[in-house]
Structure 1
Amino acid sequence: MLSPSGAVMAVLVGSCLTLGFGIKGIIVMGTFFVSSSLLSKWNGKKKSSLVEIHEKGSVRDWAQVLANGGIAAAAGLSVFFWPTPLSFLALGISLASANSDTWASELGTLSKRPPISIRNFKRVATGTSGAISLGGTLAGFLGSLLIAVVSTLLFQLSLELFFFILFFGFFGMLIDTILGAYLQAEYICRKCGLHIEKPIHCHEEAVLCKGSSWIRNDTVNFISSLSAVLLGLFFFNGF
């Protein structure tokens, strides 16, 4: 489930979580990691065609671990030095957002009908960033719900915090979809004409047709989780 670099980063992220949240923080992170990793392996034969489109596969490297767990690790460090309920909220929202996005992607690709792009509301190829389906959206909500439930039970959070984690975790998935549709890099292969996320295809440099070359899937994941956490903390303080 992890590359060597991903394993090293996972140890660092886990250490930061343990400092602040103890074994409970590891359980929340483990809930995300195990569930999302198993889903990425599920029905792999049907998902095999997506390898040609996506930049990375189901084995997570250091960048993917940092993009999905970096904010949770920072929350662990913050609660170690300065205990506050906001750290628990940041932990929950960041992992709920990551889980929501992963569940939406992994289960949404199994939908019988192609997803709809939020840019032009036309059906596009399965696995295209910035596209949604009913099944994927529902899966995203359930992914956020799982982390919200686990976080609330483990840390005995209030009902208010539960709904904040649930809502802003799901909202993070929606932000990810918007960023994927408008800002994430998309290329066209010069040889086969396939729309892809990676800059090299068919042993040749592809042509950038959308977004920015430095905004890739890991970048989008990190920005969307960070945005969801900041919005959640802002509205929580407002209430």
Structure 2
Amino acid sequence: MNEWFYIVASAVVAIGGWFIRSLSLSGAIATIIVGTVVGMGFSWRGLILLGIFFVSSSAWSKIGKKKKQKLAEKVEKGGCRDYIQVFANGGVPALISLLSLLRSSPLFLSLFIISIAAANADTWASEIGSLSKQPPRLLTNFKKVEAGTSGAVTLLGTAAAFFGAALIGAAGALQWENIPVMTVAFFGWLGSLFDTWFGAVWQAVYRCPICGMQTERKEHCGQKTVHIKGYRFINNDVVNVLSIACSALVYVVLSIF
């Protein structure tokens, strides 16, 4: 298959995502770019994994919309992904795909599958965990916090992260030989833990001077919010990139030793 097939296949998914408002126009364009690169690196098999991630995460985002709308004020962006969000989740898999074009290695295939698993695990944790009836707890000290707080976990979300990663591992094992599903599931799940940790320790959090809400937004209630913790340059998109990259890096280090 040539690159035109991957472009067309990615475009079909991107247009569908834009049509159901899971992607903005810029997000759809970014999806075509990521999908084409992944296809060139890992053929239609790679596109299937990417498609499973996109379809499953989009489906979960549509469930419990009323409850999630109440949490929208705490997060910087909504469910319609822009190009930055697409690259934040698909950038590492795309980079690994490019590296595999330069040098064929079984390691790159493992890293690719793990990176998709980490992205899927984190998305499932967020989308399903937000539906939990139990209040989340900060990963750093396990104190109860409000739903939607960066760096907080629920039992439901943690379990969802593992199953989200396992789904990608199982899909990978059906397409390639010698893909250990549980290994992929573990490192993908580990990526979601990295995401939670970085969110709790490094991600920027602001407080609204009007209503007092803690939020990821730089503006709230028509006013500029006050920075209270984390690094200003680290938002949720940066956290996503770091967590996916770290899960792949840990796998590389453990593979060497």
- Same structural fold, with TM-score higher than 0.5 when normalized by the shorter chain: yes
2:121 to 82, 89, 100: 100
Counting matched residue pairs gives 236
1:6 to 9, 12, 27: 27
Matched, 1:163 2:182: yes
Alignment of 1:125-140 (within 5 A): 125-140=146-161
Higher relative contact order structure (alpha carbons within 8 Å, sequence separation ≥ 6): 1
Residue 233 to residue 164, structure 1, CA distance change in 2 (3 Å): farther
| Contact kept? 1:28, 1:151, Cα under 8 Å | yes
Matched, 1:227 2:207: no
Residue 13 of structure 2 is matched in structure 1 by none
The amino acid that maps onto 2:182 is: F
| Contact kept? 1:32, 1:99, Cα under 8 Å | yes
Q: 1: distance between equivalents of 2:188 and 2:256?
A: 17
Identity rate of aligned residues, in percent? 44
Q: 1: distance between equivalents of 2:141 and 2:228?
A: 15
Q: 2: distance between equivalents of 1:113 and 1:165?
A: 28
Matched, 1:50 2:71: yes
Residue 148 of structure 1 is matched in structure 2 by 169
1:216 to 235, 243, 250: 235
Residue 198 of structure 1 is matched in structure 2 by 217
How many Å apart are 1:78 and its aligned residue?
1.5
Listed one character per residue, the Cα deviations across residues 165-204 of structure 1 (whole Å, up to 9, x for unaligned) are 2111110100111100010011100101011011111111
TM-score, length-scaled by structure 1: 0.96
Q: 2: distance between equivalents of 1:158 and 1:130?
A: 31
| Contact kept? 1:187, 1:210, Cα under 8 Å | yes
Give the match's secondary structure for 1:52: coil
Mark the runs of 5 or more structure 2 residues left unpaired by the alignment.
1-21
Mark the runs of 5 or more structure 1 residues left unpaired by the alignment.
none
1:70 to 65, 86, 91: 91
| Contact kept? 1:13, 1:73, Cα under 8 Å | yes
| Contact kept? 1:89, 1:233, Cα under 8 Å | no
| Contact kept? 1:164, 1:232, Cα under 8 Å | no
Two-structure CA RMSD over aligned residues (Å): 1.0
How many Å apart are 1:47 and its aligned residue?
1.0
